[in-house]
Amino acid sequence: MASYRVAVVPGDGVGPEISAEAVRVLDTAAAKFGFEVQSEWFDWGCDRYLSDGEMMPKDALDTLAGFDAIFLGCIGDANKVPDHVSLEMLLGIRVGFDQYVNLRPIRLYPGVPTPVRTATPETVDFVVIRENTEGEYSRQGGFFHPDAADGFALQTGVFTRKGCERVIRYAFELAEQRKSAGDTGRVTNCTKSNALNYSMVFWDRIYAEVAEAHPDIQRDMALVDALTMWFVKNPEWFDVVVASNLFGDIVTDLGAMLQGGMGFAAGGNIDPERRYPSMFEPIHGSAPKYTGQKRVNPIASVEAVRMMLDHLGETDAAAAVGRAVAGTLEAGEIRTKDIGGNNTTDEVGAEVARRIMEEQA
């Protein structure tokens, strides 16, 4: 029997309650599809910072390295620790494990209300590939006489050939795969080379080089500002979008609204070479004010589990999770407050699990 070790880092705020639903669905899928999951929880986060002076232990990455995958709830609680300090934990894992692809599917499930009028299950079905280890998030720069009248701060982006090339190549390869499954076969380059005259000009040049090797995939480009407009105006145009770290971060919150809100958007921090465990997470924040109320939507976390199962090669189980999510949302009887329901986080998780279990082969 296949067996997987999954590290669960629930994090702050509502992290523990959504992680519980993620693990419930993971365990249910394992029972149904005949594999084993051993999950181990790590109470790393802001409370630990307050007691021990660090978000996670110094050897955290060594510990995590022994796992097959990581589920991350959500990190950060600005009332306890400044965000730029607490979030070093998330960014540290992404970079430390060279999870250079941040895979963010943008899909609207039938039955889910979205505030965006053009968004329908037919028009919203694309993937954003976000660079995840460098670019604008390289954390290079400094404060120079910050208290002086002429003080300033510098923040430098680092765009390496290797870093750009590998993530753009991943986007093209994904577009090839999607094309064989009936999608358009198009990679949109999210750029800003009209204003960022070094980093983004370099990025564009590498995009063109990689595109050259994939003549059957349509080339496409949009400046990031215009891209936000096109996401709303013509979501059906998009197939695969490749973006730098910061731009990918920004456009995927808009993508989440096309999907019905932050309660539906999941992401995978992937090391495609599988040297290290990949990490799956809902992309929403930790909503500290709702802690313990069991009111937030667990679907984003369940979607993260679906992506994890796909990554682990348990594709039948992943598809079953997808059907159970679709069934739950389409029936619309059991739903959380964000989409007009009255149910709790665990009631939605239990409903997804029930559907997985009860589905006839």
Q: Which does 90 bind (CB under 5 to 8 A by kind): ligand IPM, Mn ion, none?
A: ligand IPM
| Closest distance to ligand IPM from the beta carbon of 248 (Å) | 8
Q: Please, which residue, 9 or 75, has the CB nearer to Mn ion?
A: 75
Q: Compare residues 16 and 327 and give the one whose CB is closer to ligand IPM.
A: 16
Of the pair 187, 262, the CB lying nearest ligand IPM is at: 262
Q: Taking a C-beta distance cutoff of 8 angstroms, is the pair 46, 35 a contact? A: no
249 counts as binding Mn ion under rule CB under 5 A: yes
Task: State in angstroms the smallest separation of the CB of 249 from ligand IPM.
Answer: 4
Nearest distance from C-beta of residue 248 to Mn ion, angstroms: 9
Cα→Cα distances 317→28, 175, 361, Å: 10, 23, 12
Shortest Å distance, C-beta 228 to Mn ion: 14
Q: Please report how many Cα atoms fall inside a 13 Å half-sphere around the Cα of residue 297, on the Cβ side.
A: 27
**Out of Mn ion, ligand IPM, none, which partner does residue 87 contact, by CB within 5 to 8 A per kind?**
ligand IPM
Site for Mn ion in 172-231 (CB under 5 A): none
d(Cα 10, Cα 56) in Å, to the nearest integer?
Answer: 12
**Residue 239 binds which one of ligand IPM, Mn ion, none, with CB within 5 to 8 A depending on kind?**
none
Q: Which is nearer to ligand IPM, 127 or 283 (CB)?
A: 283
* Complex with ligand IPM: residue 33 or 290, whichever CB lies closer: 290
> Quick one: 206 or 265, whose CB is closer to Mn ion?
265
- Contact segment (CB under 5 A) with Mn ion among 92-100, 160-168, 207-215, 247-255 equals 247-255
Indicate the residue among 91 and 226 with the shorter CB distance to Mn ion: 91
| Least spacing, CB of residue 301 vs Mn ion, in Å | 16
User: How far apart are CB 75 and ligand IPM at their closest, in Å?
Assistant: 7
| HEC letters along the chain | CCEEEEEEEEECCCHHHHHHHHHHHHHHHHHHHCCEEEEEECCCCHHHHHHHCCCCCCCHHHHHHCCCEEEEEECCCCCCCCHHHHCHHHHHHHHHCCCCEEEEEEECCCCCCCCCCCCCCCCCEEEEEEECCCEEEEEEEEEECCCCCCCEEEEEEECCHHHHHHHHHHHHHHHHHHHHCCCCCEEEEEECCCCCCCHHHHHHHHHHHHHHCCCCCEEEEEEHHHHHHHHHHCHHHCCEEEECHHHHHHHHHHHHHHCCCHHHCEEEEECCCCCCCEEEEECCCCCHHHCCCCCCCCHHHHHHHHHHHHHHCCHHHHHHHHHHHHHHHHHCCCCCHHHCCCCCHHHHHHHHHHHHHHCCC
Query: Considering the complex, what minimum distance in angstroms separates the CB of residue 138 from ligand IPM?
Result: 13
Shorter beta-carbon distance to Mn ion: residue 68 or 303: 303
Cβ-based nearer residue to Mn ion, 68 or 249 = 249
Rounded CA-CA distance 361/350 in Å is 20
The binder of 22, among Mn ion, ligand IPM, none, by C-beta within 5 to 8 A per type, is none
Phi and psi, residue 276, nearest 5°: -130, 165
Say which entry of Mn ion, ligand IPM, none residue 108 contacts (CB below 5 to 8 A, set by partner kind): none
The amino acid sitting at 272 is P
Facing residues of 5 across strands? 38
CB of 4 vs ligand IPM, minimal distance in Å: 24
Q: What residues make contact with ligand IPM under the rule CB under 6 A?
A: 87, 90, 249, 283
Which one of ligand IPM, Mn ion, none interacts with residue 310, CB within 5 to 8 A by kind? none
- Least separation, in Å, of the C-beta of 131 and ligand IPM? 11
Q: Which does 81 bind (CB under 5 to 8 A by kind): Mn ion, ligand IPM, none?
A: none
Positions in the binding site for Mn ion (CB under 5 A): 249
